Amino acid sequence: MAPRARTAPRKKPRQQRSQATVDAILDATARVLCSTGYDRASTNRIAMAAGVSVGSLYQYFPSKEALVAALVERHTASMTALVKSKLAEVATAPLAEACRTMIDAMFEAHAVDPRLHKVLIEQVPRVGRLEQVVSVEREVEALVALFLEARKSELRRSRLGATAFVLCNVVEAVTHAAVLAELEPKRAREVADELTDMVLRYLPADC
Amino acid sequence: MAPRARTAPRKKPRQQRSQATVDAILDATARVLCSTGYDRASTNRIAMAAGVSVGSLYQYFPSKEALVAALVERHTASMTALVKSKLAEVATAPLAEACRTMIDAMFEAHAVDPRLHKVLIEQVPRVGRLEQVVSVEREVEALVALFLEARKSELRRSRLGATAFVLCNVVEAVTHAAVLAELEPKRAREVADELTDMVLRYLPADC
DNA sequence: GGAATATGCGAGCTATCGCTCATATCGACA
DNA sequence: TGTCGATATGAGCGATAGCTCGCATATTCC
């Protein structure tokens, strides 16, 4: 493997004008990524789209990879926050309702910025820091495993680790597919229902 | 979006020595892709790794994208062949056994060259020709739909097209995830079993 | 106001990329 | 053995990438 690029942010913005610059750069990164794809999204182009010089960009992001990593982080953070809070909300709800709510939450979370999400998933090489960022999924998986553990008596499952793994990936996959296919809302509802149905046949002890 | 690069092969090898060259180039592409990642896998580097000059490379592949596309095609072909033959084998087997066999086959197929598979999935930008290649999945999906059609009476689902879609995506997703997460064999078995169980609760009429 | 610091600028450096082409060598058939 | 298309070569072209650095400007603090 080649030597890893620096990814730690070079400096922190201290004044509000520089914070605005950083935001503008990240926004521009998202736009350029969506419109040109990863390969053609050069730092010069991004800086120009942000109305900022390359120099400024490199004051806050030591490499292109770090820049994209920061964007991914910002994007996933907003998604994960939503999912986590919902998960906390349904901690004591009946199993069926909890599942329904969580699947809906996943659809919501993916609807935040679908175009950007698609580009990030499909085009951004998951190397270096980027792969760590994506591993937020692991965290969610662990939370789901805990959730299942707490409902142990209601479930037919015993290997809850494997169950959480399958569960998370299945829900993720279908949600992704639905978002990427840009289904109209009604059809998305159908898919969500279908998915919920599947999960509720899989999990509970009673059948 | 940028203009699409040429991807059709430039010429076909007519002598066996040139066929050897083409193979060497594809093998080298796989190796370099695995060891350096997509971005650093330059055509010069690949040619050198193949013990061949860049010129020779460009006699058979009009662009880097075409080169990678050819590799993806070769890789998916070997995977798809395995899945298809298994699907034919279980055409008359009991539903439960068929599902179990097919899911195992999927895990097997993904285990052919996991390192390469991972790189191809994670790093290769899915643009141009590459996305078409991935659409081999559609073909498999159609076969699965036919399979389901033949078992219509045993299933609780009615819209078999949609069922095939969900089924393929779910199995694909979990298998992918298992490979990418580099699960140890024992855990992979658990996940496969869970997945099988889930599918067998989803499909059959009796429950 | 003025020193100190933070921020912004952008021409341009270096490296490397994908790719071409003039030339050399090989192989099949006469 | 000679001929000619198929195959192989690799120096190097033009383009563009990521990134630096000397300097200009804005802000803060005294």
User: Per-residue pLDDT for chain A (207 aa), expressed as one digit of tens each?
Assistant: 333 344 555 667 668 889 999 999 999 999 999 998 888 899 999 999 999 999 999 999 999 999 999 999 999 998 999 999 999 999 999 999 999 999 999 999 988 888 898 888 877 766 666 666 666 788 889 999 999 999 999 998 778 999 999 999 999 988 888 877 787 888 888 889 889 989 999 999 865
Statement: the pTM of the whole predicted model exceeds 0.75: yes
User: For A169, which of B1, B40, B174 is closest by C-beta distance?
Assistant: B174
Say whether B38 and A165 touch across the interface (CB within 8 A).
no
D20 C1' closest Cα residue: A55
Q: Which burial class, exposed, middle or buried, applies to A82 when counting CB atoms under 10 A from its CB (0-12, 13-18, 19+)?
A: middle
Task: Summarize the confidence of residues B120-140 as an average pLDDT.
Answer: 68
Does B197 sit within 8 Å of A201, measured CB to CB? no
Question: Distance (Å, rounded) from C-alpha A114 to C-alpha A184?
Answer: 13
* Residue A7: how many other CB atoms lie within 10 Å: 19
Cβ separation of A162 and B187 shorter than 8 Å? yes
- Residue B103 — pLDDT band, cuts 50, 70, 90? very high
3-state secondary structure of B161: helix
Quote the CA–CA distance of B29 and B78 in Å, as a whole number: 17
* Contacting residues of A for B197, CB less than 8 Å apart: 202
**Averaged confidence pLDDT in chain B:** 86
A43 CA from D17 C1′ (Å): 9
Provide the pLDDT for residue B166. 81
pLDDT for B54: 97
B31 strand C contact, CB < 7 Å: no
Residue A127 has what pLDDT? 65
Chain A residue numbers with beta carbons less than 8 Å from the beta carbon of B185 are: none
Q: Is the pLDDT of residue B33 over 90?
A: yes
For B80, the token pair is: 């798809």
Nucleotide nearest to B38 (CA to C1'): C17
**How many CB pairs (< 8 A) connect A and B?**
86
Produce one character per residue of B68-97: b if its CB has 16 or more CB atoms within 10 Å, e if not: bbbbbeebbeebeebbeebbeebeeeebee
- Owner of token pair 């521009």: A28
Provide the shortest C-alpha distance from residue B64 to chain A (in Å): 13
| pLDDT in the model for residue B6 | 47
Phi, psi for residue B159 in degrees, rounded to 5 = -80, 90
Q: Which residues of A touch B1 (CB under 8 A)?
A: 35-37
**CB A18 under 7 Å to nucleic chain C:** yes
Residue A111 beta carbon within 7 A of nucleic strand C: no
Decide if pLDDT at B72 tops 80: yes
Q: How far apart are CA B51 and CA A176, in angstroms?
A: 42
* Tens digits of residue pLDDT in A138-153: 888 999 999 999 999 9
